[in-house]
């Protein structure tokens, strides 16, 4: 089976299933194979019955110690009940609609049962467990069943079956890493890795698979970057610029003075734009360190020198916000008419888009802000000299290649709040010059944090009401949009309703989530920014970049479900103005390990310190932790946890390129093809 084959050619995939998969961005067999499980259901050693607890899935081993009863619950519906005993206790077990179990479950028979345990009427009951003889369970022991990320309508069983179907039929695809690299880095073969990541034989198989796939992700990421770097180093600055007075005027007109860190970084950017080589710079600065104004200054300098610049961001909400802020700034200095900034996003109508394309192509629009719509085929630029990407490292990388494909080689500035320790940043972004904003604006009061259980909510609501009375605003974050079966987490829609019942009429509460139409999202965000909404109940769509300095309370429900870096980003939505701000982390489920991790956030507001501490706490064994952050989207690799693999991949990439910069040697053919496929996928991931 070819990797490009459409999912439709699989047995059991019709139009409906195809549509569900396409929601997950999966259209081909190859894409499904790269859709790795997000977790595994592991067949562990049975636990003593006396230690069984309500909640999770557990296995117990024991003897049937009662007559099995079968109760009829109506036509074709029945309830089988048995009791299982071991040295430590007895456990009640239920099965629905499986009356034939009566003959299997003889009194005195010994079995292993594996299932969910619930508390019912004060007693623990295991429900609908799988049933094994001890010998059969021994065979299964340590097996890992994949658990996939799903969307409503798609079952784990179906995804599992389809992956198995592909793996059964697929011809072995070629290994593309030369043997010497694999030996050097102790890597499993690719086809072994793909099989094992879906259906690990055991923990060892899984680890081998994971290492190999993480290596590949880093390796191709780094190769792509290095190849680009060579291109830039050869590239002279075709858009030489001069420093301009307008930027000084704008600086003088700001309601604040730049921090020393901002001044230093602005100096570096200005120097690059005036320099002999093309700029390729990463600006790293913690949330709230003031990156946006630097982007605007660079855009003004570019426009004053007669060129165009583009600012690209990951979400429409953020694009809209930056656009408003830029227009306001230009207006104050009478520059709106001469620069004519435009906003270009995917949700514009074709007509609106065409109008904007025209203005961009003619060069009347000197500044363009938007999402990835900015680099869509149809957009032609007049004199594009500078591209800035905000809050998305990888965007910067892909987009550069795309622009190069259109014959454009602008200066590139990448701005990011994802804290990456400098040593790792140099490996990952070795091709970029790195500037660090290591200082927050002076007058900022540190955010006050607390980690609480759900019983604290009434107190939190009273506190929020007080802040609102003072004129401030509040974010409440829930992990889900709506109620979903099997997942116990707060959702935006129900939570909004609940809060409306609790808070007085005059307080406006609105819901915001990613499934809304972009225009609706923007409208709500604008109303929130204008202070017309007091409480915004939202998913993580506000995670990156959103700036409403008047908001002072961030309450995060089910905080245990988010990665620390992500929580830090969310918290960064408050504490952006002069008022004291607060962050309330609500734990849905108390769990010591997770409490410990939240405590890190409770104690520190420093993104870099948090990342380092998170890494230390997690240790190498914790492979299924919540993902670090949505911002550095590797599928299996994690730059913190896999720092060693990252270094190895970086060395390997360096060796390959030193030997064969063009990847033209026969032994590198596999790498060359794979790199090309990788770049295409990256473009694909942009959703173009
Ligand atoms: P981030 O680095 O997270 O993108 P922003 O650029 O959005 O941060 O800035 C956060 C807030 O801080 C904005 O309201 C901005 O106007 C303000 N700000 C930026 N620089 C300074 C400064 N030097 N002093 C005071 N406030 C500043
Ligand atoms: Mg920002």
Dump pLDDT digits (tens) for 86-110. 999 999 999 999 988 888 888 999 9
Beta-bridge partners for 144: 42
Binding site membership of 579 for ligand 1 (Cβ less than 6 Å): no
Binding site membership of 441 for ligand 1 (Cβ less than 6 Å): yes
Mean pLDDT of all residues belonging to the chain: 87
Share of the chain above pLDDT 70, in %: 90
Query: How far away, in angstroms, is 293 Cα from ligand 1 center?
Result: 7
What backbone torsions phi and psi does residue 435 show, to the nearest 5 degrees? -115, 140
Q: What is the DSSP-derived secondary structure letter of residue 75? A: T
Banded model confidence at residue 232, pLDDT cuts 50, 70, 90? low
Binding site membership of 290 for ligand 1 (Cβ less than 6 Å): yes
Share of the chain above pLDDT 90, in %: 50
**How do 110-120 and 57-64 pair as beta strands?**
antiparallel
Tokens standing for residue 483: 């109620």
Query: How far away, in angstroms, is 288 Cα from ligand 1 center?
Result: 5
Average pLDDT for 456-474: 97
Residue with tokens 């969910």: 116
Query: How far away, in angstroms, is 217 Cα from ligand 2 center?
Result: 27
Return the pLDDT at 447: 92
Ligand that comes closest to the CA of residue 288? 1
d(CA 98, CA 96): 6
Query: How far away, in angstroms, is 282 Cα from ligand 2 center?
Result: 13
Are 505 and 463 in contact by the 8 Å Cβ rule? The answer is no
What is the number of the ligand 1 atom nearest to the C-alpha of 285? 2
Q: Indicate if the alpha-carbon torsion angle 56, 61, 66, 67 is positive or negative.
A: positive
Tokens standing for residue 582: 């607060």
What protein residues have CB closer than 5 angstroms to ion ligand 2?
545
Read off the pLDDT of residues 255-296 as tens digits, 9 standing for 90 and up: 999 999 999 999 999 999 999 988 988 898 888 899 999 999
Binding site membership of 289 for ligand 1 (Cβ less than 6 Å): yes
Return the pLDDT at 305: 97
The region, left, alpha or beta by phi > 0 then psi within -120 to 50, assigned to residue 496 is alpha
Banded model confidence at residue 610, pLDDT cuts 50, 70, 90? confident
d(CA 388, CA 309): 8
| Coil, strand or helix at 127 | strand
Query: How far away, in angstroms, is 544 Cα from ligand 2 center?
Result: 7
Residue of higher predicted confidence among 608 and 81: 81
Mutation probe of ligand 1 site: the residue of 262, 288, 328 with most atoms within 8 A of C-beta: 288
Query: How far away, in angstroms, is 440 Cα from ligand 1 center?
Result: 8
Query: How far away, in angstroms, is 353 Cα from ligand 1 center?
Result: 31
Residue with tokens 């607060």: 582
What is the number of the ligand 1 atom nearest to the C-alpha of 390? 4
Are 289 and 261 in contact by the 8 Å Cβ rule? The answer is yes
Residue nearest to atom 20 of ligand 1 (CA): 290
Are 278 and 235 in contact by the 8 Å Cβ rule? The answer is yes
Query: How far away, in angstroms, is 294 Cα from ligand 1 center?
Result: 10
Ligand that comes closest to the CA of residue 262? 1
Query: How far away, in angstroms, is 262 Cα from ligand 1 center?
Result: 10
Q: Which of 209, 197, 220, 211 is nearest to 620 (CA)?
A: 211
Instruction: Answer whether residue 187 shows pLDDT above 90.
Output: yes
Tokens standing for residue 469: 């009375």
Q: For residues 87-107, b (16+ Cβ closer than 10 Å) or e, as one string?
A: eeebbbbbbeeebeebeebee
Average pLDDT for 222-239: 74
Query: How far away, in angstroms, is 574 Cα from ligand 1 center?
Result: 12
Beta-bridge partners for 554: 475, 583
Most confident of 1-5, 485-489, 513-517: 513-517
d(CA 635, CA 633): 6
Binding site membership of 346 for ligand 1 (Cβ less than 6 Å): no
Binding site membership of 275 for ligand 1 (Cβ less than 6 Å): no
Binding site membership of 558 for ligand 1 (Cβ less than 6 Å): no
| Coil, strand or helix at 347 | coil
Binding site membership of 452 for ligand 1 (Cβ less than 6 Å): no
Tokens standing for residue 449: 């944090």
Average pLDDT for 317-328: 92
Query: How far away, in angstroms, is 415 Cα from ligand 1 center?
Result: 13
Tokens standing for residue 25: 């961005």
Return the pLDDT at 683: 54
Ligand that comes closest to the CA of residue 257? 1
Are 495 and 556 in contact by the 8 Å Cβ rule? The answer is no
What is the number of the ligand 1 atom nearest to the C-alpha of 290? 6
Banded model confidence at residue 401, pLDDT cuts 50, 70, 90? low
What is the number of the ligand 1 atom nearest to the C-alpha of 391? 4
Read off the pLDDT of residues 513-555 as tens digits, 9 standing for 90 and up: 988 888 898 899 989 999 999 999 999 888 777 889 999 999 9
Most confident of 230-239, 393-402, 531-540: 531-540
Average pLDDT for 189-197: 93
Binding site membership of 259 for ligand 1 (Cβ less than 6 Å): yes
Q: For residues 473-488, b (16+ Cβ closer than 10 Å) or e, as one string?
A: bbbbbbbbbeeeeeee
d(CA 25, CA 517): 19
Binding site membership of 569 for ligand 1 (Cβ less than 6 Å): no
Query: How far away, in angstroms, is 288 Cα from ligand 2 center?
Result: 7
d(CA 469, CA 449): 21
Alpha helices in 348-482 (DSSP H): 350-362, 393-405, 422-428, 457-469
Instruction: Answer whether residue 184 shows pLDDT above 70.
Output: yes
Mutation probe of ligand 1 site: the residue of 262, 289, 290 with most atoms within 8 A of C-beta: 290
Average pLDDT for 67-80: 88
Average pLDDT for 325-340: 95
Beta-bridge partners for 282: 414, 434
> What number of residues does the chain have?
688
Binding site membership of 287 for ligand 1 (Cβ less than 6 Å): yes
Instruction: Answer whether residue 646 shows pLDDT above 70.
Output: yes
d(CA 36, CA 635): 8
Q: Indicate if the alpha-carbon torsion angle 55, 489, 636, 434 is positive or negative.
A: negative
């Amino acid at each position: 089976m070819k990797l490009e084959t459409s999912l439709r050619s699989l047995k059991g995939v019709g139009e409906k299933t195809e549509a569900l998969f396409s929601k997950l961005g999966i259209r081909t067999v190859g894409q499904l194979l790269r859709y790795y499980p997000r977790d595994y259901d592991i067949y562990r050693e049975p636990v003593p019955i006396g230690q069984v607890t309500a909640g999770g899935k557990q296995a117990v081993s024991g003897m049937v110690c009662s007559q099995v009863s079968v109760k009829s619950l109506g036509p074709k519906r029945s309830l089988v009940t048995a009791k299982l005993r071991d040295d430590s206790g007895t456990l009640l077990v239920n099965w629905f609609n499986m009356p034939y179990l009566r003959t299997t479950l003889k009194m005195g028979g010994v079995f292993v049962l594996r299932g969910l345990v619930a508390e019912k009427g004060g007693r623990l009951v295991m429900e609908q467990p799988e049933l094994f003889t001890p010998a059969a369970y021994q065979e299964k022991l340590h097996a890992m069943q994949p658990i996939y990320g799903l969307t409503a309508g798609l079952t784990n069983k179906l995804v599992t079956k389809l992956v198995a179907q592909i793996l059964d039929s697929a011809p072995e695809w070629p290994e593309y890493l030369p043997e010497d690299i694999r030996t050097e880095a102790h890597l499993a073969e690719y086809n072994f890795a793909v099989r094992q990541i879906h259906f690990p034989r055991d923990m060892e198989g899984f680890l081998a698979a994971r290492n190999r796939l993480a290596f590949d992700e880093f390796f191709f990421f780094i190769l792509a970057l290095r190849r680009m770097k060579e291109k830039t180093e050869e590239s002279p600055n075709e858009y030489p610029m001069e420093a301009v007075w307008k930027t000084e005027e704008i600086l003088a007109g700001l309601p604040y003075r730049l921090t020393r860190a901002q001044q230093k970084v602005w100096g570096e950017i200005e120097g690059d734009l005036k320099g002999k080589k093309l700029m390729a710079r990463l600006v790293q600065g913690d949330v709230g360190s003031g990156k946006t104004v630097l982007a605007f200054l660079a855009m003004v300098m570019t426009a004053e020198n007669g060129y165009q610049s583009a600012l690209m961001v990951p979400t429409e909400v953020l694009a809209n916000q930056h656009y408003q802020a830029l227009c306001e700034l230009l207006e104050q200095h009478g520059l709106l008419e001469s620069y004519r900034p435009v906003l270009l996003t995917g949700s514009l109508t074709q007509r609106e888009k065409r109008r904007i394309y025209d203005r961009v192509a003619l060069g009347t629009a000197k500044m363009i802000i938007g999402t990835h719509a900015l680099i869509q085929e149809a957009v032609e630029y007049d004199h594009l000299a500078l591209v800035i990407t905000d809050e998305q490292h990888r965007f910067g990388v892909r987009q550069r290649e795309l622009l190069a494909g259109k014959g454009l080689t602008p200066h590139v500035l990448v701005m990011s709040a994802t804290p990456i320790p400098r040593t790792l940043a140099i490996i990952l972004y070795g091709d970029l010059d790195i500037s660090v904003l290591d200082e927050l604006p002076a007058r900022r009061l540190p955010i006050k944090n607390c980690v609480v259980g759900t019983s604290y909510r009434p107190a939190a609501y009273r506190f929020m009401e007080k802040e609102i009375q003072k004129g401030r605003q509040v974010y409440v974050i829930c992990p889900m949009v709506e109620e979903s079966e099997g997942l116990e987490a707060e959702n935006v829609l129900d939570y909004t309703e609940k809060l409306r019942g609790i808070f007085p009429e005059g307080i406006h509460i609105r819901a915001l989530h990613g499934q809304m139409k972009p225009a609706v999202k923007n409208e709500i965000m604008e109303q929130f920014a204008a202070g017309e909404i007091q409480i915004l109940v939202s998913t993580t769509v506000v995670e990156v970049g959103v700036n409403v300095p008047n908001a002072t309370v961030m309450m995060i429900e089910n905080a245990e479900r988010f990665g620390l870096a992500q929580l830090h980003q969310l918290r960064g939505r408050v504490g952006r103005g002069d008022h004291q701000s607060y962050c309330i982390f609500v734990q849905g489920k108390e769990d010591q390990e997770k409490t410990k991790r939240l405590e890190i956030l409770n104690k520190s507001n420093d993104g870099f310190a948090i990342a380092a501490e998170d890494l230390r706490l997690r240790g190498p064994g914790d492979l299924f932790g919540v993902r670090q952050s949505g911002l550095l989207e590797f599928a299996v690799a994690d730059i913190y946890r896999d720092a060693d693999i990252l270094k190895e991949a970086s060395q390997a990439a360096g060796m390959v390129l030193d030997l064969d910069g063009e990847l033209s040697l026969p032994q590198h053919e596999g790498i060359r093809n794979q790199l090309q496929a990788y770049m295409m996928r990256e473009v694909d991931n942009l959703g173009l």
